[in-house]
Amino acid sequence: MAARPRRRPRRRADLPPQYVRLSAFAGRTGFSFDHNGLFTQLDIAPTDGLEGRKGKWTAENDHTLRISLDDKKDPDYKLEIVSVDKDVLKVRRIEQ
Residue range 28-40, pLDDT digits in tens: 788 888 889 999 9
- pTM of the full structure: 0.67
**Domain presence at residue 53:** yes
Structurally, the chain folds into a number of domains equal to 1
Closest C-alpha to 30, from 72, 88, 75: 88
**Domain presence at residue 45:** yes
Domain hosting residue 34, numbered range: 25-95
**Domain presence at residue 68:** yes
Q: Is the separation of the CB atoms in 45 and 25 below 8 Å?
A: no
**Domain presence at residue 7:** no
Q: Comparing 17 with 62, which gets the higher pLDDT? A: 62
